Amino acid sequence: MVAKVSLRLAVSKQVAQKLDGERFNLRKLNELEIRKQYQIEISNRFAALENLSDSEDINRAWENIKQNIKTSAKESLGLHELKHHKPLFYEECVGFSDQRKQAKMRWVQDPSQSNVNNLNNVRLEVSRHFKNKKKGYLKGNIKELETKSKIKNIRDLYNVIKDFKKGYQPRIQ
């Protein structure tokens, strides 16, 4: 018996694009004070590097330069924080959904008219609460879009619009 087998290797985008786990907040360089502070730190560190001997290995010298740039960027700029999506579903919503589940369990165990009325009232209250939370969340997003438009922060404006249009995307791990 003879069989042909083909093997195909693929590189995951997330792993390939990951950089040492450190990303610096480069937007802070737009602020004049922080930019000057960063320039001063870099110049001080390179002045200290010039005092080292020239007979040093080129790889070791490169590692020193890279380390100096990273530490000065970390001190003056800080690390870039990942974007945290604002959750629509809050802790109080969990309490409301638990309340609805308990009312339903009481109705299943004892289908009396009082339990039916209680379940309907709880459902109405919970759906009203969820609707108000969703409306508040959407208003917050719209206000955020307005402020980004007013300050002419176009890149962030389009990123928020993209996230808004994309809708719910489950996280895959």
Q: In this predicted model, what pLDDT tens digit does every residue of 10-48 receive, in sequence order?
A: 655 555 455 556 788 888 888 888 888 888 888 888 787
61-91: pLDDT as tens digits: 888 888 888 888 888 888 877 766 556 566 7
Output the pLDDT for position 126.
92
Q: Which residue has the higher pLDDT, 119 or 19?
A: 119
pLDDT at 108 exceeding the cut of 70: yes
The mean pLDDT of the chain is: 80
pLDDT at 169: 67
- Alpha-carbon span 154 to 9, nearest angstrom: 39
Query: For 159-171, how does the pLDDT look when each residue is reduced to its tens digit (9 = 90+)?
Result: 878 877 776 666 6
Of 123, 124, 133, nearest to 91 (Cα)?
133
pTM, to two decimals: 0.47
Cα 137 from Cα 168, distance rounded (Å): 14
